[in-house]
Copies of this chain bind each other. A is one copy, B any other.
């Protein structure tokens, strides 16, 4: 059991892409492995929407589950802590220690709530860069992430092209397409229509738990696939309510599964963070304020591996393939691999055997 201790770095007057200013920013992060003397063995792991800096190991011997990507990170694992110094940082706007809408506003010490400024993927990455700079790191061997983490990885490569040597982007697009924006907006509306949301001012109460649960139920559909639900649930009924099968309370197993995931998120995530992070996702477009979409890929210098998942309905594979297609057009070193899985988008948190093999091969090639 590898024990890890979260760390925190704070800095002030952080100017956002919007022009707004955050007087104080905390970033919580974890590291695994040892930074080499030459500081040339750094891997940054970027987490997804409701993830945290706790990517691997345990915080205490009592902790039931290890970090969210533990199967890939550790001694002798794919992201080998005997070789690499791995850093995972909680994103700006989240609720796992880094500054977000639940953090105290410096003016009055009460939570920002909706006074928190709109943030972007670039803001998240630029905030993390402050930590990397603070650690004296000038070269990043590899940036890797899935979903929202993949969007950050792309921005790392574009914001710091001379710093990032290799990039692995999993199940993420280079810009959000309207269907994904649409799903996000339905989730946000569920939260904001919940009267317990109170325009965001629900702290320290439970907040819009019904709305957040509904948003997560919908999210869960998009993280899975038609196929995975057919295989796992089919038309199986959940245990019948007292008034039997033809009761309005009767549920199919797939429904109780969604409710379970909705309730689980409510226990651990802040609704306002969900609003800000989905909004940041909607704004994601690597070409925004930079130029023509297809041409921006010419600016990615990192050796790039893009991984799609064949059943992903949230960010379908064409969105990953076009990254490679556009990079190759500009003679950039970009490669596409696909995971075959019934599990849909979430396969990047499930299919460790395939994922491990693909990442291993890439690392053997670019960082032997």
Contacts and interface: CB of A to CB of B under 8 A. Distances in A.
Interface in A238-260: 245-248, 250-255, 258
A346 to B, nearest CB: 14
Interface in A172-214: 175-179, 181-183, 185-186, 189-190, 193-195, 210-211, 213-214
A104 interface: no
B176 A117 contact: no
A338 interface: no
Given A117-B246, A193-B210, A252-B282, 19 more contacts: A16-B246, A118-B248, A118-B250, A177-B235, A178-B229, A178-B230, A178-B252, A178-B254, A181-B235, A181-B255, A182-B258, A183-B221, A185-B217, A189-B217, A190-B193, A190-B214, A226-B316, A235-B285, A248-B276
B246 A18 contact: yes
A249 to B, nearest CB: 10
Nearest to A247: B118
A229 B190 contact: no
A279 interface: yes
Given A118-B247, A195-B195, A252-B178, A186 B217 contact: yes
Contact of A214 (B186, B221, B253): B186
A218 B179 CA distance: 11
Nearest to A262: B189
Interface residues of A, number: 57
Can you tell how many copies of this chain the complex includes?
2
Interface string A272-287: 0001100100100100
A75 interface: no
Given A226-B316, A282-B252, A316-B226, A17 B181 contact: no
Nearest to A319: B226
A234 interface: yes
Contacts of A252: 178, 181, 282
Contacts of A217: 182, 185-186, 189
11 contacts: A18-B245, A18-B246, A118-B247, A177-B234, A178-B252, A179-B225, A181-B252, A182-B220, A182-B229, A185-B258, A226-B316
Contact of A255 (B16, B182, B210, B253): B182
Interface of A: 16-20, 114, 117-118, 175-179, 181-183, 185-186, 189-190, 193-195, 210-211, 213-214, 217-218, 220-221, 225-226, 229-230, 232-235, 245-248, 250-255, 258, 275-276, 279, 282, 285, 313, 316
A154 to B, nearest CB: 16
Contacts of A117: 246
Contact of A229 (B177, B229, B230): B177
Nearest to A217: B186
B177 A114 contact: no
A223 to B, nearest CB: 11
> Which 4 pairs show the lowest CB-CB distances between chains A and B?
A18-B246, A178-B254, A178-B229, A193-B210
Contact of A248 (B114, B183, B211, B251): B114
Nearest to A226: B179
Given A189-B214, A246-B17, A248-B279, A254 B183 contact: no
